[in-house]
Amino acid sequence: MGMSETFFGPDFDQLQRQDPEIARLLITELDRQRQNLQLIASENFTSPAVLATLGSTLSNKYAEGYPGKRYYGGCEEVDKVENIGIERAKELFGAEHANLQPHSGASANIAVYKAFTKPGDTILAMSLPHGGHLTHGSKVNFSGSWFNVVSYGVRQDNELIDYDELRESAIANKPKMICSGATAYPSLIDFEKVRAICDEVGAIMWVDAAHFIGLVAGKAIPSPVPYADVVSFTTHKVLRGPRGGMILAKAEHAAAIDKAVFPGMQGGPIMSAVAGKAVALKEAASTDYQAYAKKVIENAQALASALEDEGMRAVSGGTQTHLALMDIRGTGVTGKVADMRCGLAGITLNKNAIPFDPETPAVTSGIRVGTPATTTQGMGLPEMKEIASLISRAIKDGEDEGKAAGIRADVSALTARFPVYPRA
């Protein structure tokens, strides 16, 4: 057994005997996560405790319905798990209702549409090229095919949401629902303003908080929960839980949300993931996690500023969250080339459109970098400077194999100082 394998439990021996092909890939992926720099803003290293739930026999159980109201027998134990998770979510976020069953963020969003709208209804949501999400009305997604989604964006001068434009559009279009939330917006959203607009036009206020809910859980940024009718999110980003989705709602919408999730949109919940969500919620209620959430933002700010020192520009003037969107036109390469060169140098990040991007979405003028994973590793401000310098070197020289090898060695030396899933 090699060093990497020691992280996996005893059952891993069985997997290795039975299916060495897949077992080997589990090891090489773990090695990749350990050795490279993980800067995808939506990724994190979940805890061994959460991973234990995902590899558990809860995966075997069908549990259509909700605790105490299931369609199959034998749900006594999983009922307890789900109830604990629901109570933890309500407590942590001060929410009146919680549903832990959505399989993913996109599933959670489908349930939100199903609970509050009918196909053909008008929705207002942030445009994808300005940082929104596929499920916020992209033409290639169900949301854009089935709904009349009117997009709003950021102002060209400050790259912040234009609340005046949003209000005017809401008055003109009379949407059934207004969605706030994004995947590449480095600033905070003014939920009080959005609530006022929703009240003015009688729209449901939906916040897709997937990217920043972990910062809310850690009390590092203001919460949308007191304002929104419904808040959907994924559980695996800053929140550091298992891959999956969750919905919080006002009590008056509880029945509609539960019905929209099951039987409206899903069959049986993945109970192993529901258990993982419960564990992550307990972890997120700790003071350690609150310190982590603050550190994630400090690191993102330090990284953005160090990348500016390397000749890139932070969109919207910096960041107040876990991610920075960098306009890299000053480096002379596109987002696509930068992404590829960083990959060759052992740095995982993604190309990203910047607002009013002159390049196509497949090319882009930007990169998105996030600090949830490196902060979980224990990295701090000095390491953010080091990372910025590594990114800059990679963008310049990543396609020169000799130089890329040197950057990869420096990346490995850095990540080795902050081991993830430490070897026994």
Distance CA 213, CA 220 (A): 10
Cα distances from 202 to residues 68, 177, 326, in angstroms, run: 35, 8, 36
Cα distances from 329 to residues 224, 232, 336, 353, in angstroms, run: 34, 34, 12, 12
CB 42 → ligand DSN: shortest distance, Å? 3
Which of 133, 277 has the CB closer to ligand DSN?
133
CB 211 → ligand DSN: shortest distance, Å? 6
Q: What mask, x for binding ligand DSN by CB under 6 A, covers residues 218 to 247?
A: ------------------------------
CB 273 → ligand DSN: shortest distance, Å? 16
Which of 26, 40 has the CB closer to ligand DSN?
40
Q: Are 247 and 111 in contact (CB under 8 A)?
A: yes
Cα distances from 402 to residues 153, 411, 413, in angstroms, run: 42, 15, 17
Q: Please count the residues of the chain.
A: 424
Footprint of ligand DSN on 142-201 (CB under 6 A): 183
CB 361 → ligand DSN: shortest distance, Å? 14
Cα distances from 212 to residues 31, 39, 208, 239, in angstroms, run: 28, 15, 9, 8
**Phi then psi dihedrals of residue 390, to 5 deg:** -65, -40
Distance of CA 331 to the CA centre of its chain: 28
Which of 183, 319 has the CB closer to ligand DSN?
183
CB 120 → ligand DSN: shortest distance, Å? 25
Kindly determine how many residues on this chain lie close enough to bind ligand DSN according to the rule CB under 6 A: 4
Among 65, 85, 102, 105, binds ligand DSN (CB under 6 A): 105
Distance CA 26, CA 33 (A): 11
- Asked if residue 44 binds ligand DSN (CB under 6 A), the reply is no
Q: Are 415 and 33 in contact (CB under 8 A)?
A: no
Burial class (CB in 10 A: 0-12, 13-18, 19+), 48: exposed
Nearest by Cα to 420 from 372, 370, 378: 378
Query: β-strand 122-126 against 148-152: which pairing, if any?
Result: parallel
Among 36, 42, 101, 138, binds ligand DSN (CB under 6 A): 42
Which of 88, 237 has the CB closer to ligand DSN?
237
- Catalytically active residues are 62, 64, 208, 234, 237, 243
CB 335 → ligand DSN: shortest distance, Å? 14
Q: Given the rule CB under 6 A, which residues bind ligand DSN?
A: 42, 105, 133, 183
